[in-house]
Amino acid sequence: MKCLLCASTDTPEIISFGKVPLANAFLDSPDSREELFDLTLVFCPVCSLVQITQSIDPNKLFRNYSYYSSMSDTMLKHASDLVDSLVKERKLNSLSQVIEIASNDAYLLSNFQKYGIPALGIDPSVNLAVIAHSKGVQTITDFFSDRLADSLPKADVIIALNVLGHVPDPNDFLRGIHKVLKPNGVCVIEVPSVRATIEGNSFDQIYHEHLSYWSLSSLRYAFKGNNLMIARAEKISIHGGGYRLYVTQPSAIRDRQTNQMFEIESALGLDKFVYYQCFADRVKDVGILLRTLLAGLHSVGARIVAYGAAAKGTQLLNYIGATPDIIEYVIDSTPVKIGKYVPGCRIPIVSPNNLGTQGYVLLTAHNWRDEIKSKHKDFTGQWIIPLPFPTIE
C-alpha cells in the first residue's frame, strides 16, 4: 500500500470493514450477485492523508452513475448560492470562463446560464452528461486529469465539489488544476472534512468511491506540492460537514480566519495517528447500539423502514447487518434507484409515497434530515437518526 499523496509505505490501519459491496452498485433483483471488495482505512503519518487501501477502476464506479445531485433541494440552493457569490465576488461576465469538475447533472453549472457566462462541465458519467446536455450545459464526458487539462480553455473559476476525495491520483488532479487556472483565477474546492467524519462517528462516509479523507494539514501538503495554495477556507455543513477552499496560484495571501483553522486542527492533532486510534472502537459501539435498538423495536412488532438509498446508506445498513425482515424497505426519490435493491443486504428501494404515517424511519440519508422531514409533515411516526450516536426524534 503506497500513500495516494506522498507514496509513503508506512500507513497504519484505522479501521477495516472486511469485504463489502460497492455502495452505489444497486441490484436489479434480490437474486443478483454483487462483487465484494476489501474496505480498510489507513493514515499516512508523512502527509496526514487518511485513505482507503483498495482502489476500484473509476470506470466501474462512475461511467454509469446513480447519484443525481439535483435530488436534493438543499444541494440545489447550496449550488445556486455559490454561483451567485462567485459571479459577484469575481466580477464574472460573458468574457469569463468557468469549468466545473464532476459537474454531475448540471445542477450547478445551469445557474451560470442566466448570467450569460460560458461554463463547461467535466464528468465521466455518460448518463449524467445526457441530462446536462438536455439543460444546455456543455459537458466533456471524461475524468479530469493533467492530460485532459492540456485540451481545456484557461479558466477564471474552476469548481470542484465533492470530487477531490474520489480521485486515485490527487497530485495529477491538482497539476491539471494548476495548468488550467488563470494566474488570477480561483478554484473552489469542497471536500468532506476528516475531522467531521471522525468526530461524527461517520463510518457511513467510508466506501470505495471515497478514496481519501482530508484534513487541512493533508490539503496544505497536497496544494503546496502542486504549486497551489489555500487562500481562504470556510467550514460548510453540507454532506455531513466539510471545507470550502478558495485555491489560487501561490502568490495569494491567506486570510487570518483560515490560519486559525489550521492552528485548531494542528492543536487537535489531525496530523498524528493517535487522533484516529479510537475511531474503530466508537464505530463498534455505535453498531452495537443501532443493532440493539432495531432488534428491540422489531421484537415488539414495530414497522421499520429506512429513508435514503444513499451510498452512505449502503455502508451503514450492511455494517449493522440489516435484513429485509427487520427493515422492510428503503425509501428514495431517485427514479433510477426505485425498484432496485441495496447491494449486500438486498433491501428493496421504493418511492416516497410508500412512507405512510406510522412506524420508525431509520434516516440513512441523515445529512438531509431537515429537508426530508419537511417533505413528510403528515408522518406522525418517529425518526431514527443513526449518527453520531443513535437517537429517536
Give the residues lining the site for ligand DWN (CB under 6 A): 67, 71-72, 162, 209, 239, 308-312, 332-334, 337, 365, 367-368, 371-372, 375
Q: Which is nearer to ligand DWN, 185 or 192 (CB)?
A: 192
CB-wise, 92 or 355, nearer to ligand DWN?
Answer: 355
Largest CA distance in the chain: 65
Which of 139, 71, 140 is closest to 107 using CA atoms? 71
- Whether the CB-CB separation of 354 and 31 falls below 8 Å is answered with no
Compute the distance between CA of residue 268 and CA of residue 262 in angstroms, rounded to an integer. 10
The nearest distance, CB 293 to ligand DWN, in angstroms, is 21
Q: Which value, to the nearest 10 degrees, does the dihedral of the CA atoms of residues 104, 105, 107, 109 take?
A: 80
Question: Which CB atom, from 308 or from 343, has the smaller least distance to ligand DWN?
Answer: 308
Min separation Cβ 55 and ligand DWN, Å: 15
Task: State whether residue 51 is helix, strand or coil.
Answer: strand
- Shorter beta-carbon distance to ligand DWN: residue 67 or 319: 67
Beta strands (DSSP E) in the chain are 13-21, 36-43, 50-52, 98-101, 119-122, 138-140, 155-161, 181-192, 212-213, 229-236, 242-248, 304-307, 330-331, 349-350, 360-362, 382-385, 391-392
- How far apart are CB 299 and ligand DWN at their closest, in Å? 28
Taking the complex as a whole, the smallest distance from the CB of residue 191 to ligand DWN amounts, in Å, to: 9
CA distance 136 to 352: 29
User: By C-beta, is 117 or 189 nearer to ligand DWN?
Assistant: 189
Of 72 and 218, the one with the shorter C-beta distance to ligand DWN is 72
**C-beta separation of 92 from 113 below 8 A:** no
DSSP letter, residue 27: B
Q: How far is the CB of 350 from ligand DWN (least distance, A)?
A: 11
Minimum CB separation of residue 176 from ligand DWN in Å reads: 20
User: Are the C-beta atoms of 275 and 299 separated by less than 8 Å?
Assistant: no
Q: Which of 226, 334 has the CB closer to ligand DWN?
A: 334
In the complex, minimum distance from the CB of residue 22 to ligand DWN, in angstroms, rounded to a whole number: 11
Give the angle 36-311-327 at the CA atoms, nearest 5°: 85
DSSP string for 134-186? HTT-EEE-S---HHHHTTSPPEEEEEEES-GGG-S-HHHHHHHHHHHEEEEEE
Least spacing, CB of residue 141 vs ligand DWN, in Å: 18
Q: Which is nearer to ligand DWN, 185 or 308 (CB)?
A: 308
List Cα–Cα distances, 77 to 82, 93, 113, 307, 393, in angstroms: 8, 21, 16, 21, 26
Amino acid at 13: E
From the CB of 194, what's the least distance to ligand DWN, in Å?
14
How does DSSP assign 183-200, residue by residue?
EEEEEEEEEEBHHHHHHT
**Which C-beta is closer to ligand DWN: that of 232 or that of 337?**
337
Q: Which is nearer to ligand DWN, 92 or 311 (CB)?
A: 311
Q: Please report how close the Cβ of residue 277 comes to ligand DWN at its closest, in angstroms.
A: 25
Closest residue to ligand DWN, Cβ-based? 310
Q: Which residue reads 509513503 in cell numbers?
A: 8
Do 145 and 171 form a contact (C-beta atoms < 8 A)?
no
**Percent of the chain that is helix, strand, coil (3-state, to 5):** 35, 25, 40
